[in-house]
Structure 1
Amino acid sequence: MRRYDMTSSFNDSRYAWLRLALTLAIAMVANVGMWAIIVIMPAVEAEFGVSRASASLPYTLTMIGFAVGNFVVGRAVDTWGVSRVLVVCAIAIASGYGLATLSGSILSLSMAQLLIGFGTSVGFGPLIADISHWFLKRRGIAVAIAASGNYLSGAIWPILLADILEDQGWRAAYAVLAMSTLAVVIPLAFALRRQVPDSAHQLAEAASSANAVSSGLSPRALSWLLGLAGVGCCVAMSMPQVHIVSYCVDLGYGPAVGAEMLALMLLGGVGSRLVSGFLADQLGGVKTLLLGSVLQCIALLLYLPSDALISLYVVSLIFGLSQGGIVPSYAVIVREYMPAREAGARVGFVMMATILGMALGGWMSGWVYDVTGSYQMAFWNGIAWNGLNIAIMLWLLSRSRSQGMLRTA
């Protein structure tokens, strides 16, 4: 990668960092929908009188909409630019919140969350793909910062809405989120109207073409491989993230404690993403992702003997510090190995796979709980899926090395 350091004033410029700051602000508001449903899950379960697996359905539909949106919205950003797409998605998010406040059943709430998830997707993969065009030498940390908006939204907003949730209920909190989305995302979207020049695309194409040859895989084959790896790591990741509030309720600690652990987990994830961004700029995306996946597996193992209050706080922080950099590393790998002009679609596809893994894992953990009456087997299920991700990353790393040795010979 060092031989492409002859960047223009466009890459890693002062404007690029300003754009990154705006991107982070948008992401912190646009991503709230996927976390809000986790916080209100116990209240929804009690209000509608449904099982734990059924109460997980709105989250699953949110993540399905989020997954599909990452791919569809990512392609739209490639075509029309991020600014216009942000405005449309902000309206979709606000509409979803509004419909959710009117829901009278778990099914109608799930349908509203599907729309919220689809609109919310603009704050993740599409924004990450867009900001990746504006950096070359510091792309890893730029992607990590943009991706951190997702975790920051989950860490900050539940605390900001805590009083509203306690005094007025989750419907009032959703009304506040609808107004906040329109008031913040739409004005900031117009500040991102500047387009990437063709010269920057050409520079990025040169770097990605050289890396693609080293893997010996076509962009399509690599996309599917990364997608499978993404499902594996995110089924594992979803167990603590989706069910930590319900887990704390079962242990008698209450939903407020669970929300605090979720916030701690996500704040740890922000730190992990930033560190992983620096590592990705030095080691590359594959090695960074493999490291994060191994650490996540260790953290999941630590949950098994932990049910005391202090130990759960500590393990939740360890989990956040371990896994936060995994998903952004996929975007770095895509940009390292695939055509720049397809960044929105390619990043969107891989992000879609990771999010489908979260959706599958969120439901699967609830189902395992209903069958066994405990979250212990749900943790083991996550550990097994995590092993799949580690195996794929090891194979990809060994293949890249063997291809390089063959060319040298």
Structure 2
Amino acid sequence: MTARSVETRASWVVAFATLAIMSVTYGAPLVLVVALKPIAADLGAPRSVPALAAALASFGTGLGGIPMGWLAERLGVRRMTVFGAGMAALGLAISTLGGQWALYIGYGLFLGLLGNGCLNAPLMTYVSRWFDRRRGTALALITSGQYVAGAIWPSLFERGIEWWGWQRTTLVFAVIEAVAILPLAILFLRPPPKAPAAGGYGAGPMPGGLVLGMRPNLVLGLMSVAIFLCCVPMALPSVHLVSFCTDLGLSATTGAAMLSVLLACAFLSRQFWGWLGDRIGGLRTVLVCSACQAVTLSLFLATQSEIGLFTVAAAFGLGFAGLVPSYVLAIREHFPASEAGWRVPALLFSGLLGMATGGWMGGAVYDASGSYAPAFLLGVASNVANLAVVGFLVARLGGARLRMAAA
């Protein structure tokens, strides 16, 4: 007898509420993206200083996701989301106090580790438990909060910074984050349905078995290396696009609009990648998306015109958008549901470490060379290495099926 699906109308209510939460959550790091040059000038520091703060936020988010995911399994995702929203707002406020260390502590410790650490990986794991048939589509939807944020907030931040300065703009957003997330968490983040019994529909593989013909932790390690290598190049346009544009003589307003176009295109295409992942699997979708990212990232080096850059930014957004949810989908496909609470945060930690490395590297390479071109070349090289690792894992998919058939 076929097990009953856990998906209901309530699953989609939870998914859309989580999308709204993430649309606010992902706005916080964008303050640094838009205000990178004003912050550096205000602090009398090189661009690598605010870039490092952005890197620390990514690193803290990834590292915090592991213990916060464990706590969410025990205390409930609602409590952890409320706590995370409060810590994120506090971190934004601390970052405006002045000085490099206030920026680092505000973004790295409070916004990243204690704040977004509760609002990223734990929410992805939580929503994945509400779905078994269209899990890839649901994960694509909720992680699109990053792109909803990118389509909405950069232009508003650019105007706010122009009118009020980056400190007041940051404080206003801190209030918005707390006021928006708290009621959403309290009203909509209910306990998820119980997971199917081992071997049931949507439960994932049985614990203790091989994954792709290899030990499970080895596969997780390879996937972690892969997501790190693809997130390094992903961070370069995400963090440095506005500054890259102003260096080419375009206005900050144009750069912010270009970032919004990039992320709006990513939002639209992520829905397609989620649909595709439900049909061909997470790892194959990762391979296709990574190839698209490598090609479009290299095109940033081939044009300097405004129209050309808008076109490349849109293409980059369309190409890379399916990567992160497809990695999470692959974890849920190849590992038992009972292990998702720690494997998903561990994987996303590697991805956010890659984002942190890429964001910091872009600023450091610019400070050393006076150009973003070497950083983008390094990003393309990292992407090629990612394709090699993911290609190996996809090749193992066929071998694993042959071994199952022989058994």
TM-score normalised by structure 1 residue count: 0.94
Please name the residue that 2:59 is paired with: 64
For residues 159-181 of structure 1, give each alpha carbon's deviation from its aligned partner in whole angstroms, at most 9, with x where no partner exists: 33343221111111111111112
Partner Cα separation in structure 2 for residue 188 and residue 253 of structure 1: 39
Instruction: Report the Cα offset of residue 211 of structure 1.
Output: 12
For residues 246-303 of structure 1, give each alpha carbon's deviation from its aligned partner in whole angstroms, at most 9, with x where no partner exists: 1111111122211111111111111221111000010000000100000000101211
Instruction: Report the Cα offset of residue 54 of structure 1.
Output: 2.5
Please name the residue that 1:324 is paired with: 321
Partner Cα separation in structure 2 for residue 390 and residue 211 of structure 1: 28
Q: Is the 8 A contact 2:66 2:345 kept in 1?
A: yes
Letter in 1 for 2:129: H
Residue among 111, 131, 134 paired with 2:105: 111
Please name the residue that 2:152 is paired with: 156
* C-alpha distance 212-374 of structure 1, shift in aligned 2 (>3 A): farther
Please name the residue that 1:92 is paired with: 87
**Structure 2 residue matching 1:50: 3-state secondary structure:** coil
Letter in 2 for 1:282: R
Is 1:301 the counterpart of 2:298? The answer is yes
Runs (5+) with no aligned partner, structure 1: none
Residue among 133, 136, 151 paired with 1:137: 133
**Share of identical aligned residues, percent?**
35
Please name the residue that 2:278 is paired with: 281
Is 1:338 the counterpart of 2:335? The answer is yes
For residues 357-381 of structure 1, give each alpha carbon's deviation from its aligned partner in whole angstroms, at most 9, with x where no partner exists: 0111111122222222221111110
* C-alpha distance 199-258 of structure 1, shift in aligned 2 (>3 A): closer
Q: Is the 8 A contact 2:84 2:119 kept in 1?
A: no
Q: Is the 8 A contact 2:204 2:337 kept in 1?
A: no
Q: Is the 8 A contact 1:209 1:339 kept in 2?
A: yes
Instruction: Report the Cα offset of residue 348 of structure 1.
Output: 0.7
Partner Cα separation in structure 2 for residue 73 and residue 154 of structure 1: 25
Q: Is the 8 A contact 2:196 2:203 kept in 1?
A: no
Q: Is the 8 A contact 2:61 2:120 kept in 1?
A: no
Letter in 2 for 1:64: F
Instruction: Report the Cα offset of residue 332 of structure 1.
Output: 0.2
Residue among 26, 49, 57 paired with 1:54: 49
Q: Is the 8 A contact 2:77 2:123 kept in 1?
A: yes
Q: Is the 8 A contact 1:201 1:340 kept in 2?
A: no
Letter in 2 for 1:73: M
| 1:379-390 to 2 correspondences below 5 Å | 379-390=376-387
* C-alpha distance 199-292 of structure 1, shift in aligned 2 (>3 A): closer
Q: Is the 8 A contact 2:147 2:267 kept in 1?
A: yes
* C-alpha distance 51-280 of structure 1, shift in aligned 2 (>3 A): same
Please name the residue that 1:178 is paired with: 174
Q: Is the 8 A contact 1:201 1:341 kept in 2?
A: no
Runs (5+) with no aligned partner, structure 2: none
Q: Is the 8 A contact 1:211 1:337 kept in 2?
A: no
Partner Cα separation in structure 2 for residue 25 and residue 350 of structure 1: 23
Partner Cα separation in structure 1 for residue 197 and residue 51 of structure 2: 42
**Structure 2 residue matching 1:209: 3-state secondary structure:** coil
* C-alpha distance 376-211 of structure 1, shift in aligned 2 (>3 A): farther
Please name the residue that 1:20 is paired with: 15
Q: Is the 8 A contact 1:30 1:122 kept in 2?
A: no
Letter in 1 for 2:342: A
Partner Cα separation in structure 1 for residue 106 and residue 94 of structure 2: 6
Please name the residue that 2:220 is paired with: 223
Task: State the number of aligned residues.
Answer: 403
Partner Cα separation in structure 1 for residue 196 and residue 363 of structure 2: 46
Partner Cα separation in structure 1 for residue 30 and residue 386 of structure 2: 24
* C-alpha distance 211-293 of structure 1, shift in aligned 2 (>3 A): farther
TM-score normalised by structure 2 residue count: 0.94
| 1:187-202 to 2 correspondences below 5 Å | 187-200=183-196, 202=198
Instruction: Report the Cα offset of residue 206 of structure 1.
Output: 4.3
Partner Cα separation in structure 2 for residue 70 and residue 191 of structure 1: 23
* C-alpha distance 152-201 of structure 1, shift in aligned 2 (>3 A): farther
Greater CA drift, 354-363 or 27-36: 27-36
Which has the larger share of helix? 1
Partner Cα separation in structure 2 for residue 296 and residue 197 of structure 1: 36
Letter in 2 for 1:303: F
For residues 207-257 of structure 1, give each alpha carbon's deviation from its aligned partner in whole angstroms, at most 9, with x where no partner exists: 333996461233322221111001100011111111111111111112221
For residues 66-124 of structure 1, give each alpha carbon's deviation from its aligned partner in whole angstroms, at most 9, with x where no partner exists: 1112222222222222101001111101111111122x212221211112122123332
Q: Is the 8 A contact 1:78 1:341 kept in 2?
A: no
